[in-house]
């Protein structure tokens, strides 16, 4: 997107609106508790532009985050939360009483994902799938995970999370890369690693170091299952890389679930989560990353 195509806002009007949101008691039924930021073109560029305008007015957000539809970025204290979210064609800055907003969200995570009364029908419908707290202070208590009851739900969870990273992480963190391991307790705690980075796209790797060396049948089996190549420099792991888009997110999730089941996992309860990180290009962690929409207990 050319600079000329980016949305432009009157900075003084925006500053006045932000000041009003902070000073006015939040009332979610009032249009005065929301500021609309229309945009055209790619949402990631609009999020970057909005943050470039809002951070000088409000400071660095307490929490970055999002889902596969859009951002979920928060300036939060114990009394008030300003929330930047939105979907295609619109971003919104809204003011909420912190306790009320977080209680509503906690109730959704506690009820979980499924077809029961009060449940959300898909992981993509949760308020957010990932959150990154850049500062050690100021965040809410951890949310309960929405544990996936079956493989279909887990695959949907992974697909939604991968797409959320692909569409939101770079826009919010610049050069940030995110990763985590799924640990297969049914297969000697073998790790299967997920990674997203602005240069790498979506990556999934599996530890295969205990496989027979130079076994042609095993090599054929791995490539038939969808693995692209052996990872370098991670000796004797297998790796597959996909585009950061809906088809790439679906392929990443599908390959991972199939591999876990092939290697003995009977249900998602056989899996754990480890090594959840978000790092910069030097490998230094840039905050505390949590994945409440992953669908598994940590």
Which residue ranges make up each domain of the chain?
Answer: 3-133, 151-290
The pLDDT mean for the chain works out to 86
Distance between alpha carbon 36 and the CA centroid of its chain, in Å? 23
Share of residues in the chain with pLDDT > 90 (%): 53
Alpha-carbon separation of residue 261 from 17, 91, 133, 154 (angstroms): 52, 40, 33, 12
* pLDDT of the residue at 138: 58
Is the backbone of residue 24 left (phi > 0), alpha (psi -120 to 50) or beta?
beta
For residue 233, pLDDT over 70 is answered with no
For residue 77, pLDDT over 90 is answered with no
The Cβ of residue 56 has, within 10 Å, a number of other Cβ atoms equal to 10
pTM confidence score: 0.90
Rounded Cα gap, residues 241 and 222, in angstroms = 15
Residue 103's pLDDT band (boundaries 50, 70, 90)?
A: very high
Share of residues in the chain with pLDDT > 70 (%): 87
């Amino acid at each position: 997107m050319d600079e000329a195509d980016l949305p432009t806002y009157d900075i003084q009007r925006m500053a006045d609106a932000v000041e009003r949101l902070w000073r006015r008691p939040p009332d979610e039924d009032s249009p005065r508790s929301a500021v609309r930021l229309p945009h055209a073109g790619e949402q990631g560029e609009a999020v970057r532009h909005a943050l470039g305008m809002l951070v000088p007015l409000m400071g660095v957000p307490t929490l970055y985050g999002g889902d596969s539809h859009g951002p979920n970025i928060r300036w939060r204290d114990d009394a008030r939360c300003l929330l930047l979210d939105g979907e295609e064609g619109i971003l919104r800055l809204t003011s909420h009483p912190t306790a009320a907003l977080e209680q509503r969200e906690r109730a959704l995570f506690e009820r979980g994902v499924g077809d029961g009364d009060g449940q959300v029908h898909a992981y993509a419908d949760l308020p957010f799938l990932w959150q990154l707290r850049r500062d050690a202070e100021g965040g809410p208590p951890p949310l309960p995970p929405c544990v996936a009851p079956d493989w279909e739900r887990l695959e949907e969870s992974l697909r939604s999370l991968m797409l959320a990273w692909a569409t939101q992480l770079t826009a919010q963190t610049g050069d940030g890369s995110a990763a985590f391991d799924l640990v297969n307790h049914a297969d000697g705690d073998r790790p299967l690693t997920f990674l997203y980075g602005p240069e790498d796209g979506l990556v999934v790797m599996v530890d295969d170091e205990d496989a027979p060396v130079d076994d042609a049948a095993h090599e054929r089996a791995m490539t038939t299952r969808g693995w692209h190549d052996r990872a370098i420099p991670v000796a004797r792991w297998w790796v597959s890389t996909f585009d950061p888009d809906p088809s790439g997110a679906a392929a990443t999730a599908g390959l991972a679930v199939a591999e876990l089941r092939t290697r003995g996992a009977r249900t998602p309860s056989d899996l754990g989560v480890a090594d959840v990180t978000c790092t910069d290009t030097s490998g230094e962690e840039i905050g505390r990353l949590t994945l409440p929409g992953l669908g598994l207990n940590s």
